[in-house]
Structure 1
Amino acid sequence: MPAAARPSLPTGPRPAAPDLNRSAVARYLQLATLFRRRVEQGIWLPGTQIPTVDDLAAEYGVARATIRQALDQLAGEGLIERFRAKGTFVSTTPPQRLWCDVETDWNGLLRSREGAHIEILSDTPGQDPQSLPASEGLPAPLYRHLRRRHWRDNQPFLLADVWLDERLSPQITTEDLTTKTALRLVASIPGVRIAQARQTLTIGAADVEAAAQLHIPLNAPIAHVHRLAIDPDGTLLLIANGTYRGDMVRIDVKLR
């Protein structure tokens, strides 16, 4: 930090503080999310000093230790810097955020992400269709269950469970499993036709497993994506359930 004092954030009327007691999520995690959004939305600008721990504790009606826990989250993410006897400042060069587009058209869903690689966490053949999540279509005799984790720039951004009609397995290589999106695994097989495909997206919070696998805090925002593919005979060829990091996902929908 330069010798001259950095600018502080402008003062003025603030919106009413949220009621942190209305959620089961720990208060410090709720506050970390609020503070993170202030940085990401430019409310707390790079190079500016943020309010003191005492000011934030008074604003939100919580203990100073809770504010420190929340700020620890931001410091760990490289969003803020602390300087002894000077205060806490928004980083002048915040870390590059990885934007992962959740595609909304067929061609986009088949396209692999540049610079990404896929880690196979487990591969279990011979799964009874009754063990699958509830879905549409006529079940195949057996399914192959894959759990995969997608990485880019040394950061995991997607945890996915994939169930494939096991009769397709002989036509899928190990390279396919580590390079192709779930729908492309099926769509690229010669002679296989997809008559119906569907995608559903919901927003949620990371549980213990998702937080550990995606390297994010417990209860951090995530996006759940459910995809399926059905052949012309009505057979369910594929189910793919993905969990995306909420801080690294973007959904663009062309309206016209």
Structure 2
Amino acid sequence: MVDQSASSDANDTASSLKRSRIAIYLQLATLFRNRIASGQWRVGCRTPNIDDLAEEFGVARGTIRQAFDKLEAEGLVERHRAKGSFVRRAPARARVHRLEMDWASCCTAHDDATIRTLSSEIVTRLPDSLSCDAPHLPRYHALRRLHIRDGEPYMVGTGFIGEEVFSRLPADRLDDKALSSLVQDFAGNDIGAAHQTLTVGTADVETAALLNIEVNSPVALMHRCVLSRQKRVMFASDGIYRGDAVRLEIALR
């Protein structure tokens, strides 16, 4: 007897693969990687054969082979002539970064991270995503930085620091401490309000390369605004976190 539910799910997945602008073999590689990570395809066990997978997803056998080429290059599967493909190991799990929901915790959240500055420039306006619904300052120092923990990048972001506040920051601390922490340490008495917004999105080509993830992988987008007592934007930042490396916890009661 045919499992109508399973058949419907397979048809839905096949349709989704064809609607996306991402190459089908890359989408399949992600799907197969998730099957390994979840234990559906167990380490040491043989994977379904190419013909069955091609039929399941309605694609050519060559497309399935391309997906397995990628998994083999990552060391997740190994293929043997006349025997098939076997799961070699599960994907490494990224260390989870907890997204903080209060200013004090935000200032210490990256204390154990290695921070690499990617670019630094002076700008005269903030991005539209960081308008903060408050008056801006004439100039900001924009620092784009990559945050790394245990050798794995987990967040890339850009911080915009008002020129007067930036002048107070010690240059030798800019590469080893979170910008929010520096702003608190050297201009904390000037802070009147702070808020942040979290949304979920997908990684573009540049972000995927920096965070060592696949294009279109889920990411968490954090926009943060800090206002002075005069209600002007003294610091703003946007951070893009790997979706598999963040956790949000909120006490409900």
The answer, yes or no, to whether TM exceeds 0.5 is yes
Once structures 1 and 2 are overlaid, which stretch shifts more, 229-238 or 92-101?
92-101
Aligned length: 244
- Report SS of the residue matched to 1:225: strand
Equivalent residue for 1:3?
Answer: none
Distance 1:102 1:65, change over 3 A: farther
Distance 1:194 1:39, change over 3 A: farther
- Provide TM-score, normalisation by structure 1: 0.83
Instruction: Decide which of 42, 57, 64 is 1:60's aligned counterpart.
Output: 57
Instruction: Decide which of 61, 75, 88 is 2:85's aligned counterpart.
Output: 88
Instruction: Decide which of 11, 30, 35 is 2:32's aligned counterpart.
Output: 35
Q: Which amino acid aligns with 1:68?
A: R
Instruction: Decide which of 210, 215, 218 is 1:218's aligned counterpart.
Output: 215
**How far is the alpha carbon of 1:32 from its aligned partner?**
2.1
Equivalent residue for 1:6?
Answer: none
Instruction: Decide which of 132, 154, 158 is 2:155's aligned counterpart.
Output: 158
- Provide TM-score, normalisation by structure 2: 0.84
**Structure 2 gap ranges (5+):** none
**Is contact 1:186–1:192 with CA below 8 Å preserved after alignment?**
no
Q: Which amino acid aligns with 2:41?
A: W
- Report SS of the residue matched to 2:189: coil
% same residue = 40
**Is contact 1:78–1:95 with CA below 8 Å preserved after alignment?**
no
Distance 1:190 1:135, change over 3 A: closer
Once structures 1 and 2 are overlaid, which stretch shifts more, 50-59 or 128-137?
128-137
Regions of 4+ moved over 4 Å: 130-133
**How far is the alpha carbon of 1:231 from its aligned partner?**
1.9
Q: Which amino acid aligns with 2:125?
A: P
**1:255 paired to 2:228:** no
- Report SS of the residue matched to 2:114: strand
Q: Quick one: distance in 1 between partners of 2:46 and 2:30?
A: 18
Equivalent residue for 1:129?
Answer: 125
Q: Quick one: distance in 2 between partners of 1:60 and 1:38?
A: 14
Distance 1:128 1:232, change over 3 A: same
**1:188 paired to 2:194:** no
Distance 1:68 1:222, change over 3 A: farther
**Is contact 2:155–2:242 with CA below 8 Å preserved after alignment?**
yes
Q: Please provide the CA RMSD for this pair.
A: 2.4
- Report SS of the residue matched to 1:139: coil
Distance 1:192 1:85, change over 3 A: farther
Structure with more helix by fraction = 2
- Report SS of the residue matched to 1:148: strand
**Structure 1 gap ranges (5+):** 1-11
Instruction: Decide which of 222, 228, 231 is 1:234's aligned counterpart.
Output: 231
Q: Quick one: distance in 2 between partners of 1:181 and 1:40?
A: 32
**Is contact 1:186–1:237 with CA below 8 Å preserved after alignment?**
no
Equivalent residue for 1:7?
Answer: none
